[in-house]
Amino acid sequence: MEYANEGLYQALAAMMGFIFLIVGVASVLLIVSKWVLYSKAGEPGYAAIIPIYDMIIMLKIANMPWYYIFFFCIPIVNIVFMIIALFNFLKAYGKGDIASFLLAFFFQPIYFLYLAFSKNVQYVG
């Protein structure tokens, strides 16, 4: 038995598969780049694959208290604290300008790869 919308379902399944592929690749790139960035800062690289520990190490590199992790659980407040943490994280690598922040905010996997594998970028604390 053939359904009237079978072609539509197949198209939606193909689109979802493509989206999952893109998100998966971006996630792997972000994990690899965070692993290298954490190692540059003298922290364990494996922290990039442990969810909450990852944020604690990011806050540590950004010179922010570890207990700020609790602010990430509050809606709207979490967005503000993530922006602050990301900006401070970039400053720890000498990239504290607004252009770097915007690049990292909108193209995080790509920009973090640049930070991780660029010879010009070093951890400055």
Dihedral (C-alpha) 39, 57, 44, 32: value to the nearest 10 degrees? Answer: -60
Nearest to 112 by CA among 84, 88, 85, 93: 93
Q: What pLDDT is recorded for position 22? A: 94
pLDDT, tens digit, 9 for 90 and up, residues 107-120: 888 888 888 888 88
Query: What amino acid occupies position 18?
Result: F
pLDDT, tens digit, 9 for 90 and up, residues 24-81: 998 999 899 999 999 999 999 999 999 899 999 999 999 999 999 999 899 999 988 9
List Cβ<8 Å contacts ≥24 apart for 22-30. 26/109, 27/109, 29/109, 29/110, 29/112, 29/113, 30/108, 30/109, 30/112
